[in-house]
Amino acid sequence: MKAAAFEHVDAADVQDALRLLASAAGRAKLMAGGQSLGPMLNLRLSRPQSVVDLSKLAALTSVQVQGQDLLLGARLTHAAIEDGRHPALAAHPMRQVAAGIAYRAIRNKGTLGGSLAHADPAADWVVALVAMGAAVCLQSPRGERERPLEGFMQAAYTTELADDELITAVRVPAMTDGRWGYYKFCRKPGEFADASAAVCRVGPAAPWRLVLGALDGPPLLLSAFAQELGEPGAASLTLSRLRNAVAAALPERDPIDHQLHAVCLARALAQAGWPALAA
Ligand SMILES: Cc1cc2nc3c(=O)[nH]c(=O)nc-3n(C[C@H](O)[C@H](O)[C@H](O)COP(=O)(O)OP(=O)(O)OC[C@H]3O[C@@H](n4cnc5c(N)ncnc54)[C@H](O)[C@@H]3O)c2cc1C
């Protein structure tokens, strides 16, 4: 199948992109790397009147250090993050996540902002960055706003982005003193995950955040269970304990899903420094 006809327009800058979006009154789509929008257009799941191409917007590829945070431009590619091209990303755990996304050809084009806006429940960034407590920076003709990523994704392929709004940047913790783990199950390397889990503590005084992903909707934060677990080594950790916590959080899912997510969580916890599971 081929895409239905649409007008392709290169945005000159963010203001131009916002003007083009506003004038299309909901009938335009932004395109960043085109790695998700391209297939949607070809399958005619998306039939916009115009496509506003962001690829000329170099300003959206910057990396800024702001105190304990990094402000990552929405158009940073997965490959740029994987390669740690900016010094602030050189030792950042996002590199590990980026390296596991699809194949290098897709990582060369696919972007951070595009992935978060597309909101595929099985995508890597939506899960990993909720665990980090990231936020998205949005801009529209009404001004700028910053929203926690937790809650930004409302359902599969649905976010709180308005039709005339774009993601300019993503705020993530610098993770200079953080602990971290991420694990996903894929049938083949490069495929979307069947189950995933991320574990993060951004600094020694911060709470642990445990997140399950690749669900039917947004990632799920296991806040009460994270509190119950306490610090690594504080409580004995068994796979059956993790499976019970997953089953309680996802009662609608079948036992195979519970097991897959529990194993993802166990492996993410081990990466974050939890002692090996008791038998
Ligand atoms: C074969 C294949 C395998 C893949 N495997 C994985 C995987 O394992 N893990 C994973 O996480 N992803 C995977 N992906 C998706 C890939 O990571 C895409 O890069 C990503 O989903 C979309 O990024 P993009 O820049 O290409 O966005 P685009 O395709 O250009 O856009 C996607 C959506 O986001 C909107 N958008 C883009 N940029 C912005 C912005 N700045 N502000 C607001 N809205 C915006 C567009 O309008 C569109 O609705 C895979 C894709 C393919 C084709």
DSSP secondary structure string, 229-266?
Answer: H-STTTS--BHHHHHHHHHHH-TTS-HHHHHHHHHHHH
- Model pTM greater than 0.85? yes
CB atoms within 10 A of CB 177: 13
Is the distance from the beta carbon of residue 34 to the nearest atom of ligand 1 less than 6 Å?
Answer: yes
Is the distance from the beta carbon of residue 33 to the nearest atom of ligand 1 less than 6 Å?
Answer: yes
Average confidence score pLDDT of the chain: 95
pLDDT tens track for 153-196: 999 999 999 999 999 999 999 999 999 999 999 988 778 899 99
Is the distance from the beta carbon of residue 196 to the nearest atom of ligand 1 less than 6 Å?
Answer: no
Q: Across the strands, what pairs with 182? A: 198
Do both 74 and 153 map to the same domain?
A: yes
Q: How far is the centre of ligand 1, averaged over its atoms, from the C-alpha of 136 (Å)?
A: 16
**Contact criterion met (CB below 8 Å) for 41 and 6:** yes
Residue to probe by mutation, ligand 1, list 115, 116, 149, 165, most atoms within 8 Å of CB:
115
Do both 167 and 183 map to the same domain?
A: no
Indicate which CATH number applies to the domain containing 35. Answer: 3.30.43
**pLDDT(276) > 80:** no
Q: What is the pLDDT of residue 227?
A: 93
Q: What is the pLDDT of residue 278?
A: 62
Q: How far is the centre of ligand 1, averaged over its atoms, from the C-alpha of 156 (Å)?
A: 13
**Per the domain annotation, does 2 fall within a domain?**
no
Q: What is the mean predicted confidence (pLDDT) over 212-241?
A: 91
Q: How far is the centre of ligand 1, averaged over its atoms, from the C-alpha of 38 (Å)?
A: 9
DSSP conformational letter for 61: G
pLDDT tens track for 81-132: 999 999 999 999 999 999 999 999 999 999 999 999 999 999 999 999 999 9
Do both 201 and 163 map to the same domain?
A: no
Residue numbers of the domain that contains 72: 60-173
**pLDDT(279) > 60:** no
Residue to probe by mutation, ligand 1, list 61, 106, 184, most atoms within 8 Å of CB:
106
Question: How many structural domains compose the chain?
Answer: 3
Burial of 184 (0-12, 13-18, 19+ CB in 10 A): buried
Do both 26 and 96 map to the same domain?
A: no
pLDDT tens track for 10-50: 999 999 999 999 999 899 999 999 999 999 999 999 999 99
**pLDDT(74) > 60:** yes
